[in-house]
Amino acid sequence: MQTLKQKIADKAQAALLHSVTEARQLLGISHTTFYDLLRDGRLKAIKIGSRTFVSDEALRAFIRTCSAYQPKGAENA
């Protein structure tokens, strides 16, 4: 039986739009962080009726704007 994460990953490969829950799961972020990103304009979403969706392209664009992880002290190595 597939886990929720596997189901979301399978659906994400074919989806143009992702629900808030799916987008959060794909990014691995909390509800609060998700809506902070929307409010700050760092992540774009669309509304269809009362539902909020994030396009696959918006997720990819957001990821491209994120800086690479740098462990502390790595800049001195």
What CA–CA distance (Å, rounded) separates 68 from 48? 33
In a domain, 37, yes or no: yes
Residue 75 falls inside a structural domain: no
Bridge partner list, 19: 53
On whether residue 51 sits in a domain, the answer given is yes
pTM of the prediction? 0.70
Domain extent, residue 46, equals: 4-64
Question: What pLDDT, on a 0 to 100 scale, did the predictor assign at position 76?
Answer: 60
- The reply to whether 20 falls in a domain is yes
Supply the DSSP string of 7-53, one letter for each residue: HHHHHHHH-SEEEHHHHHHHHT--HHHHHHHHHHTSS--EEETTEEE
Give CA 1 to chain center in angstroms: 25
Count how many domains the chain has: 1
Give yes or no for a contact between 8 and 22, defined as CB atoms under 8 angstroms apart. yes
76 part of a folded domain: no
Question: Per-residue confidence of the chain (77 residues) as pLDDT tens digits?
Answer: 767 667 666 666 667 899 999 999 999 999 999 999 999 999 999 999 999 999 999 999 999 998 888 888 766 65
Note whether residue 22 is domain-resident: yes
